[in-house]
Structure 1
Amino acid sequence: MRNIIRGLLLTPLFALVVSGCDTARQDVTLHARDAVPERLSDWHIVEAIDEELTLNRGVTPYDLNTALFTDYAHKLRTVWMPPGTSAVYGEERFDYPVGTVLTKTFYYPKGPDGTVLRTDDYRRDYVEGKVGEALALDRVHLVETRVLVKRADGWQALPYVWNAEQTDATLEIAGDASPMRLASDGGASQPFTYVVPDANQCAGCHADNHTQKAIAPLGPRARHLNKDYAYASGAQNQLLHWQQIGYLSGLPAFEAIPRNADFADADLPLEMRARAYLDINCGHCHNPAGAADTSGLMLHHSEQDRRRLGLCKPPVAAGTGSGDRRFAIVPGHPEDSILTFRVESTDPGAMMPELGRSLVHEEGVALLREWIAAMPGNCS
């Protein structure tokens, strides 16, 4: 159902018509590393215009098979590349051209009495007749837009926080924190603090190679992008679409392209869904070159060793992070597994992931519990 809803997001073949005033809109502006603007609007990528958050010409939205959980926030992701350039396909990561700008806008549908809504339904977020093209600012609350820019010497991460008037976002290198109340469809609500990471924390998560410490995009990779998207010209695989509009070269035979599962698609095998969830939420640190490499727990998509994946694996260091449990994964027993303890925790000293959430992702926890409960064997 989630993919069907997201499949409603529409965009023209190359350029998005964003408003009746589009002819007067300034083109995307690429700023130098040492002269980044204080205002998001100065990039002219996504802007608040006439009560709409709109995408500029040549700015293309995209979606992921399974996305990183961020306190139930909705996300609008975009990619822009300088005219005449394209990314070069790689199975693990693309070689993006200098000047590529990726953005991710985090927002919530507005709820009653100043709350924000917990919902998987994206349809009400958009302006009538502009699904996928323009967010309706009278229906959504914008929180932050993260900008990732490819420079000649590597990627630069920049967090922008939206103002109370929802007219623009300001660069906040030190991050930000906003108290909110999250309301469910049933009417119950809970308080939480939405935390915008500082620039160093952005760089820390995006440096999935801890030795090189170079940051890179995590979401727009082949296995995450390999899915259909309902463009205005018709449904099309996103990778084929990028190739068609000139944003991707070197695409191999389609059957050779990896594809992660949608963790919420109950029609897919349980193992595929759980592994996809762990890959996007944990694999950027828990991989052989990542920041958590010394833990010995490898949760990236290509790990095949069940012990390294956590099966009957004792922790390298015990303490509050283990919850007094003996093994990362105890087959058949999620209640005895460190993995479930950490994803269920909101204690900063124990929770995983360490950044990016204040709430427990109930659907993700339920999936991991189901996966572990279905595993045969024991740790005796």
Structure 2
Amino acid sequence: MPHSDLMPIGLFARRSGLTASALRFYADSGLLRPSETDPVTGYRYYGAAQLTRAITLRRLRELDMSLPVVETVLDSGAEEASRLIDTHVAKAAGDAMAVRHRAGVLKASLAGAPGPPIAVLKGPVLADAVEQILTATTRDPGMPVLGGLRIETGPEAVTLTATDRYRLSTRTLVPAKTPTQTETPTQTWAATVRGDELREAAAEIRRSPSVRIEATPFGVLLRAPDREDQFCGLLTEEFPDYRLMLASLGDVTTRVTVAKGLLLRALEDHSAERVALDVADHRLWVLPAQDEACEVSLASAVTGRSLRVWFDLTTLYPAVSTAIGPDVMLDLRGPQRPATIRSADRGDLTTLAMPVKPDHPAGIPHDKDRLHASCSHQR
């Protein structure tokens, strides 16, 4: 007879989330043998100590992990098991992306003719631009378009745009003029491309001197000499009308030019989730939203009036970090108006950052004379 601390297979199945038939299968395969089996009735009994292994087994199988790998994970220590799980997930994600890519190429080929050329761009330049602009995307199941990158072409330029409603990044690229280009690129074309697929494609196109972008009914083909075509699908949801927002920004009241590295370090030095950019005394001050934190003063070129604008760090930092060149220009319009962050000498990458409502934590004075306390840092 089984010990009193053993559970019959039905109870163990309910507690572990596995079915009785699955438990029998795993017992026969050697992954999870019962603690005892009644020699007369054949009933199987499991111990409470086996629950952890059973639940882990169920969760691993929910990841579509093969039985041999499951067995290795179950018999490994925590560190090795974690590595094996990461390897399995990476492979599964890669396989899914490859299948989606092949399906996209297949659908594009069903049209029977090459898609119209959109533009020919330098591979490293396009890859950089894609990665910069995609920092302004987000995963929102309710609005998948916020995870996409808008591509718009005209006779002289290709514009990439993305927004997560708190940031908006846009960059304009000039198509490459190559001697082998015989096609006439499409004069105007616009669509929103899946950001995750573009992010994957960027690693490949970065190693190509030139990349030709072709439009298809289902996505875009990125074609480079001597490399496999990269397919990126389209998002059909309407992209936010960012041009309307750009047209209604209002006048710039304060302009600040500051070294990008200094500003990034000032933002990194504090653990605050919210910071203020305070412009006064012809300098830029970074104020973290914490009582005990000290403000940082940065040498900068300032024109316009003094003001203070608050930002969430998760909005401001990516906008600054993706700027091109050693200096950034901040165009400020007031405490509740979008700020423009762009390269001081390269205007083809521009990011808008939405401020948050003015926040005046206790301990941070409004009188600028009090900001020259001993805790201030000059840079």
TM-score by length of 2: 0.25
- Structure ID, larger Rg: 2
TM-score by length of 1: 0.25
Structure having the larger proportion of residues in helix: 2
